[in-house]
Amino acid sequence: MSNVLTFTDKGIYCPAGDFYIDPWGRVERALITHGHSDHARWGMGSYLATKAAAPVMQHRLGDVSIDTVNYAETVQIGDARVSFHPAGHVPGSAQIRVEVAGEVWVASGDYKTTNDGFSEPFEPVRCHAFITESTFGLPIFKWQPQQVVADQINTWWTANRAEGKASILGAYALGKAQRLMSCVDASIGPILTHASIENTNDILRAQGLHLPDTVRVTAETGLKKYPSALVICPPSAFGPWSKKFGPQSQAFASGWMALRGVKRRRAAERGFIISDHADWTELNSAIAETGAERIFVTHGYTSVFTKWLRDQGYDAHVVSTDYGGDEADDSDAPQQDTQDAGAAV
């Protein structure tokens, strides 16, 4: 049986439709699962993404032309029938379903099956072959319900306010930051944002997503007006930028905070365990629900997760890709390979 998708040094390729999915090499035609920079890169001849993903991509990639589709809308490209389905990772994120002569493959990009109340909820797609990430593909990663984490953040923020401290929360600018601001209790106090996050907020609000009121921090912002605020910024802004908020407690929100070692190395006072990637349980249930027999494992704990899937009776393979890096800080990931040595199939 011929392969609907193949794995090349430029990315995931569909010979029947002559297009690539989330390529990292320059190609003529790119189908994009979501706007994170390791999946949506500059320099492609053309782009196709969901309507909800396009505005952020446009902002990040600049002057490129992006064609859009609705979720579940079928597009014929060459001999391939293509459709996009919610991946639950960030707003607009999609799994890309490709069907050629009755054979169905799904490239899921990054995904989580938990409904975060913000991104379009993940929908399982039946297929013969499923391409999955494995960022948190070990049984040590099991997330708490979102509300539990939201309560932890609320408690932390409230306690900091009582002590006259600002609450500085480090989170990735697209997705995680907005998810956090929509799940915390905005009545506790003002929410301030770093420019990189507020730029994304503007775009998401413009496309109709609801976010709580936030204040963009600029050089002119009178910080005295917003005592004991929740300040959401990318982790890279910790340091001189965050210092100006005065007495403060610092925290990171990331799946890696599940590991005490990472938390201690980060030297943040608090680590909130929340991720836009599937945990161990979600990965396994998502894969089972596809009904697929062939599984291709990309970025993350690829070799261990693949071995586990083989133990479970799947025809599983490691695939070497250039993905990975959106989870707050990729260098937090213990012993994942940047370039996995496993054989590409």
Partner 1 sequence: MRDFATLFTTLDQTTKTTSKVAALRAFFEAASDSDKLWCIALFSGRRPKRAVTTTLLREWAAELAGIPLWLFEECYPIVGDLAETIALVLPPARQHDDQPLTHWIKTVQSIAPQEEAARKKIILDAWDRLNTTERFLFNKLLTGGFRVGVSQKLVTRALAQCTDQDEAALTHKLMGSWTPDSITFDQLVLQDDPEADLSKPYPFYLAHGVDDIDQLGPVSNWCAELKWDGIRGQLIKRGGAHHLWSRGEELMTDRFPEFAQLRDFLPDGTVIDGEVLAFQDGVPLSFNVLQKRIGRKTVPKKMLIEAPVILQAYDLLEWHGTDIREKPLSERRHLLASLIENLPTDLPIALSKQVPATSWDTLAEARETAREVNAEGLMLKRLSSPYLAGRKKGDWWKWKVDPLTIDAVMIYAQAGHGRRATLFTDYTFAVKSGNELVPFTKAYSGLTDAEFKQITSWVKKNTLQRFGPVRQVTPQHVFEIAFEGIQASPRHKSGIALRFPRMLRWRQDKPLDEINTLEDLQEMLRQFG
Q: Which of 101, 106, 124 is nearest to 21 (CA)?
A: 106
Q: Which residues sit at the interface with partner 1, rule CB under 8 A?
A: 138-142, 256, 258-265, 267, 269-270, 301, 304, 307-308, 311, 331-339, 341
What does the alpha-carbon distance between residue 272 and residue 263 come to, in Å, rounded to a whole number?
10
Choice between 25 and 247, CB closer to partner 1: 247
Distance of CA 262 to the CA centre of its chain: 20
For residue 178, give every residue at least 6 positions away whose Cβ sits within 8 Å of its Cβ, in sequence order, or none: 91, 118, 197, 200, 201, 204, 209, 211
* Min dist. Cβ of residue 141 to partner 1 (A): 8
* Min dist. Cβ of residue 317 to partner 1 (A): 18
Residue 250 near residue 266 (C-beta atoms within 8 A): no
Residue 45: phi, psi to the nearest 5?
Answer: -65, -45
Tell me whether residue 202 is exposed, middle or buried, using C-beta atoms within 10 angstroms of its C-beta: 0 to 12, 13 to 18, 19 or more.
middle
Give bridge partners of residue 106 from the DSSP assignment.
97, 130
* Min dist. Cβ of residue 282 to partner 1 (A): 15
Q: SS3 of 193, please?
A: strand
What does the alpha-carbon distance between residue 1 and residue 128 come to, in Å, rounded to a whole number?
12
* Min dist. Cβ of residue 209 to partner 1 (A): 33
What does the alpha-carbon distance between residue 194 and residue 199 come to, in Å, rounded to a whole number?
9
What does the alpha-carbon distance between residue 226 and residue 223 come to, in Å, rounded to a whole number?
5
Choice between 119 and 152, CB closer to partner 1: 152
What does the alpha-carbon distance between residue 115 and residue 98 come to, in Å, rounded to a whole number?
24
Choice between 95 and 250, CB closer to partner 1: 250
* Min dist. Cβ of residue 263 to partner 1 (A): 8
Choice between 123 and 337, CB closer to partner 1: 337
Choice between 18 and 337, CB closer to partner 1: 337
CA torsion through residues 225, 229, 233, 236, sign: positive
Distances (CA, A) of 213 to 34, 167, 181, 186: 25, 17, 9, 8
* Min dist. Cβ of residue 336 to partner 1 (A): 8
* Min dist. Cβ of residue 245 to partner 1 (A): 17
Residue-level length of the chain: 345
Choice between 142 and 244, CB closer to partner 1: 142
* Min dist. Cβ of residue 136 to partner 1 (A): 11
* Min dist. Cβ of residue 26 to partner 1 (A): 22
Choice between 105 and 172, CB closer to partner 1: 172
Choice between 117 and 261, CB closer to partner 1: 261
What does the alpha-carbon distance between residue 333 and residue 236 come to, in Å, rounded to a whole number?
16
Choice between 167 and 214, CB closer to partner 1: 167
Residue 183 near residue 117 (C-beta atoms within 8 A): yes
